[in-house]
Amino acid sequence: MAPLRKSQRSNRSGTATRGADRSHLLTERRNHRTKDIDTKDILEIVDIINKEDTKVSAAVRKERKNIARAVKLIVKSFKNGGRLFYVGAGTSGRLGILDASEMPPTFGTQPGLVQGIIAGGRKAVFRSVEGVEDSRSDAAEAIRRAGVRNRDTVVGIAAGGTTPFVQSAVKTAGKIGAGTVFLTCNPETRPETTVDVIIRPVTGPEVITGSTRMKAGTATKLVLNTLTTAAMIRTGRVYGNLMVDLRATNNKLIDRSERIIMELTGLSRRAAKGLLEKAHGETKTAIVMHLLETSYTDTRKRLSLYGGSLRGTLESYS
């Protein structure tokens, strides 16, 4: 592992040295293709940004094997009763929180299964809190406060790869014995400690120099989407390409749940609605109740025997 440059090291207080020179980082370099973007008309600006964005998918694809390795870690954590934690600062932290918050309504998970930790805490989600990303001690405390255990997986997200808060969080998680993943969009930076997986979609210099909320942020969102979606599929929360573990908690999700039930059972909309009510809004449970002609209580027991997998439950009783 390459050592950090002197300018990247922290001082004794646990806070990164102020004014550290990051000009060598690819994500901080000027993009020669956009140097005169301020002289363009609006449509030209839109086209320039769009052209740069087309590079993101290819960068993520190059990391497909590392992404798959990270998914295996996360699946192992879930199957062993562990959790997934995202850790980041600024845009990276917000993207982690966004992905985590979407798991309960989409896949019916408990809120604590996937969690986001952001430098500066809750207030930093909505407004930038200056300086908090430089505190290593705050990161270590956040990991301990979250109760991270050796059965969990921690994904540190840092577009530039130098964020002290993220580096410290990953290091602390590793000492606990948790699975560790480091996600960065820079080819030059490394985690300060040994990690299980490094995911490195290299998206190049940004349209606006250093604005990693753009291409790097888009790449990060794509990676996080893949990590959780693939993990949910592998842990039985998807049947075919249907989100059968969703909970019908609002009108949109009620409609989607009813349509899924109709698709898999052949029932009418009215019958699907009644069945969903009997299943307490649990789509997967409703499907099994109808296809196996079982009660709500019995269905829940059967699903539990097969790890909550709809496919496993149906195939075992076919």
pLDDT for residue 29:
85
Q: Is 295 exposed, middle or buried (0-12, 13-18, 19+ CB in 10 A)?
A: exposed
Angle at 86 between CA 80 and CA 87, to 5 degrees: 130
Rounded CA-CA distance 15/32 in Å is 33
109 vs 128 pLDDT, higher one = 109
Q: Which distant-in-sequence residues (6+ apart) come within 8 Å of 309 by Cβ?
A: 236, 303
Structure confidence by residue, pLDDT tens digits, 177-211: 999 999 999 998 899 999 999 999 999 999 999 89
pLDDT for residue 130:
74
End-to-end CA distance of the chain: 53
pLDDT for residue 19:
55
Average pLDDT over residues 153-179: 96
Catalytic residue among 133, 206, 258, 282: 133
- Whether the CB-CB separation of 77 and 173 falls below 8 Å is answered with no
pLDDT for residue 288:
96
Nearest to 188 by CA among 214, 221, 162: 162
Structure confidence by residue, pLDDT tens digits, 96-112: 999 999 999 899 899 99
Q: Which domains are delineated in the chain?
A: 6-234 (3.40.50.10490), 251-316 (1.10.8.1080)
What is the pTM for the complete model shown?
0.88
Catalytic residue among 102, 141, 188, 263: 102
Least confident of 7-21, 116-130, 152-166, 235-249: 7-21
* 211: number of Cβ within 10 Å: 15
315 a catalytic residue: no
Rounded CA-CA distance 265/290 in Å is 7
Band the pLDDT of 27: cuts 50, 70, 90.
confident
133 a catalytic residue: yes
Which residues partner with 10 through β-bridges?
A: 16
Residue 272 pLDDT > 70, yes or no?
A: yes
- What value does the CA radius of gyration of the chain take, rounded to a whole number of Å? 22
Q: Cα-flanking dihedrals φ and ψ of residue 281, to 5°?
A: 80, 10
Average pLDDT over residues 206-225: 95
Indicate the pairing of strand 114-118 with strand 153-157: unpaired
Rounded CA-CA distance 264/310 in Å is 11
Q: Which distant-in-sequence residues (6+ apart) come within 8 Å of 60 by Cβ?
A: 67, 201, 219, 222, 223, 226
Angle at 164 between CA 225 and CA 169, to 5 degrees: 60
Rounded CA-CA distance 181/71 in Å is 10
Structure confidence by residue, pLDDT tens digits, 39-97: 999 999 999 999 999 999 999 999 999 999 999 999 999 999 999 999 999 999 999 99
Residue 13 pLDDT > 70, yes or no?
A: no
